[in-house]
Amino acid sequence: MLMLTIKDSPNDIVAGLDAGANDYVVKGCDVSQLLARVRALLRRGNAAPGVSPAHKKYFDIPMIFL
């Protein structure tokens, strides 16, 4: 899971990573960096072969869990 947020304090970052995020990106980062991080997470791929990603919505924000 990649967290994209405006919260940038060290405590927020640690809390996000401790909550299960694989990566934590503060909003306002370079778009090419964000896309590279998404590609890296997709390459790691946690889903077993043939398993479809789970699609959910939280606070009207679509999310895909791999």
pTM above 0.75, yes or no: no
Q: What distance lies between CA 1 and its chain's CA centroid?
A: 4
Q: What's the pLDDT tens digit per position in 15-53?
A: 999 998 889 999 988 988 988 888 888 888 655 555 455
For residue 59, the model assigns a pLDDT of 59
Query: Are the C-beta atoms of 7 and 28 separated by less than 8 Å?
Result: no
DSSP β-ladder status, 23-26 and 2-5? parallel
Predicted pLDDT of residue 26: 92
Helical residues (DSSP H) of 19-53, grouped into ranges: 31-44
How confident is the model over 45-58, as pLDDT tens digits? 655 555 455 656 55
Single-letter residue type at 63? M
Q: Where are the domains of the chain?
A: 2-65
Q: What is the dihedral of CA 34, 66, 15, 29, to 10 degrees?
A: 10
Report the alpha-carbon distance of residue 15 to residue 61 in Å, rounded: 20
